């Protein structure tokens, strides 16, 4: 049996994360409302990635989980990034 | 504690298994996001105009609902870990209610689209052209698959609530609650990307 203590995320932390997520949501809505042209896609995606990171680290507990989970998650992200990269190379330079 | 009792249980492995499943889900939706970006790249104007058709407010409300429900399910785990079974149950029930509210919103949102003759394969869409057909095809496919995940997530959470009721999920054995929570967060995670890409970016 594993004897290391399980990390318990406090209610306060969860609430602060929600607050951050709501503020970021408000930020995406206002950024896309002022027309930044092509940058609005980039800005919206950046904020979405930030929100996703918060959910993954705190709500999904990845920050406090074992190394094997962190490594395998990163590996999946690398694979996904490579697929995106290769697809776009194909489309942009064919 | 009872170091000598032999327990046939491995919570770390259970969680790892859940994460492996989540990886396949991320790649499933990831693939569709790539399709979206390629079609957007090919039909920028149609995607721009079609995006304006979607109801931003409805999308925003559903975003807030999912974010709050993600917090309540995470708090439900905290409560369980602290031995507050009743509170854990209450937070779980709140999560389930929020999930249902999301689906009710989705019903009205899709209903409004159908009323405007926008649905997969409609002759109205065909007249609008390829770009619009692709945009709404992706919209129905991706939000539809997401809504399906909400339904499955709700079934899992009800199942967890039943287990808590039966004391099969309890403060010393709650990996099912954790895994149900992980699934629910995944649904939230996907929506975090769906919302700006379909509703906000014009």
Return the number of other C-beta atoms located less than 10 Å from residue A17's C-beta.
Answer: 21
Residue A91: per-residue pLDDT: 86
ipTM over 0.95: no
Separation of alpha carbons A18 and A21, rounded Å? 5
Compute the average pLDDT of residues A62-66. Answer: 93
In terms of domains, do A54 and A27 share one?
yes
**pLDDT digits over B146-201, tens only?**
999 999 999 999 999 999 999 999 999 999 999 999 999 999 999 999 999 999 88
Q: Is the same domain home to A52 and A75?
A: no
- What 3-state class would DSSP assign to A61? coil
8 Å CB contact between B189 and A56: yes
To the nearest whole number, what is the mean pLDDT of chain A?
90
H or E element, residue B113: helix B85-115
Q: Is residue B2 over pLDDT 70?
A: no
Answer yes or no: do A36 and A75 share one domain. Answer: no
Q: A24 with A52, same domain? A: yes
CA-to-CA distance for B69 and B79, rounded, in angstroms? 15
Tell which phi-psi region holds residue B121, choosing left (phi > 0), alpha (psi between -120 and 50) or beta: left
User: Tokens 């559903």 map to which residue?
Assistant: B62
| Confidence category of residue B4, pLDDT binned at 50, 70, 90 | low
Cα dist from B50 to B27, B112, B124, B129, whole Å: 26, 15, 13, 11
Closest CA to B198 of B33, B28, B64, B27: B33
- If one counts the domains in chain A, the total is 2
pLDDT at A3: 43
Residues A53 and A82 placed together within one structural domain of the fold: no
Q: Which residues between 26 and 45 in chain A have a beta carbon less than 8 angstroms from any beta carbon of chain B?
A: 28-29, 32, 40-41, 44-45
Residues A44 and A16 in one domain: yes
pLDDT of residue A34: 82
Share of chain B above pLDDT 70, in %: 97
Question: Same domain for A30 and A55?
Answer: yes
pLDDT band at A2 (very low <50, low <70, confident <90, very high): very low
Contact between chains at B188 and A10 (C-beta distance less than 8 A): no
Residue A1 included in any domain: no
- pLDDT score recorded for residue B68: 98
- B3 pLDDT higher than 70: no
Residues A12 and A56 in one domain: yes
pLDDT of amino acid A4: 55
Could you tell me if residue A40 is inside a domain?
yes
Q: Does residue A3 sit within a domain?
A: no
Which chain B residue has its CA at the smallest distance from A78's CA? B27
- The answer on A71 and A55 residing in a single domain is no
Tens of pLDDT along B77-126? 999 999 999 999 999 999 999 999 999 999 999 999 999 999 998 899 88
Residue in chain B lying closest to A9 (CA): B78
Same structural domain, A47 and A71? no
Residues A33 and A76 in one domain: no
Confirm whether A2 is domain-assigned: no
Instruction: Tell me the pLDDT of chain B averaged across its residues.
Output: 94
In a domain, A21, yes or no: yes
Q: What residue ranges define each of the domains in chain B, with the CATH number in brackets?
A: 30-200 (1.20.120.80)
- 8 A C-beta contact, residue B146 and residue B187: yes
DSSP helix/strand/coil, B47 = helix
A65 touches chain B (CB under 8 A): yes
Each residue's pLDDT tens digit, A21-32: 999 999 999 988
Domain extent, residue A14, equals 8-60
**At B10, phi and psi to the nearest 5?**
-140, 95
* Residue B130: strand, helix, or coil: helix
Does residue A31 form part of some domain?
yes
- In angstroms, the CA B111 to CA B117 distance is 10
Here the tokens at position B164 are: 């808590």
Residues A43 and A82 in one domain: no
CA distance A40 to chain B (A): 7
CA-closest candidate to residue B109, choices B158, B59, B150, B157? B59
For range B23-46, the mean pLDDT: 94
CA atoms of B16 and A26, how far apart (whole Å): 34
């Amino acid at each position: 049996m594993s004897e290391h203590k399980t990390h318990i995320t406090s209610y306060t932390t969860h609430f602060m994360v929600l607050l951050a997520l709501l503020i970021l949501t408000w930020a995406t809505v206002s950024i896309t409302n002022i027309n930044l042209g092509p940058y609005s896609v980039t800005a919206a995606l950046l904020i979405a990635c930030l929100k996703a990171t918060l959910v993954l680290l705190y709500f999904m507990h990845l920050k406090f989980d074992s190394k094997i989970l962190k490594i395998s998650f990163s590996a999946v992200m690398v694979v996904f990034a490579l697929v995106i990269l290769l697809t776009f190379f194909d489309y942009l330079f064919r | 504690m009872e170091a000598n009792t032999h327990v046939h249980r491995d919570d770390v492995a259970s969680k790892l298994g859940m994460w492996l499943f989540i990886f396949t889900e991320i790649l499933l939706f990831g693939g569709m996001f790539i399709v979206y970006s390629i079609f957007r790249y090919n039909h920028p104007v149609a995607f721009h105009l079609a995006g304006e058709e979607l109801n931003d407010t409805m999308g925003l409300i559903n975003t807030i609902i999912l974010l709050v429900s993600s917090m309540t399910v995470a708090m439900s785990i905290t409560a369980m870990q602290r031995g507050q079974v009743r509170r854990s149950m209450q937070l779980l029930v709140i999560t389930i209610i929020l999930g249902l509210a999301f689906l009710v919103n989705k019903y009205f949102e899709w209903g409004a689209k159908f009323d405007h003759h926008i649905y997969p394969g409609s002759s109205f869409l065909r007249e609008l052209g390829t770009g619009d057909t692709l945009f709404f095809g992706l919209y129905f496919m991706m939000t539809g698959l997401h809504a399906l995940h909400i339904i499955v997530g709700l079934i899992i959470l009800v199942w967890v609530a039943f287990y808590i009721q039966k004391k099969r999920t309890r403060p010393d054995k709650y990996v099912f609650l954790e895994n149900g929570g992980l699934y629910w967060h995944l649904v939230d995670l996907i929506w975090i990307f769906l919302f700006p890409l379909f509703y906000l970016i014009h």
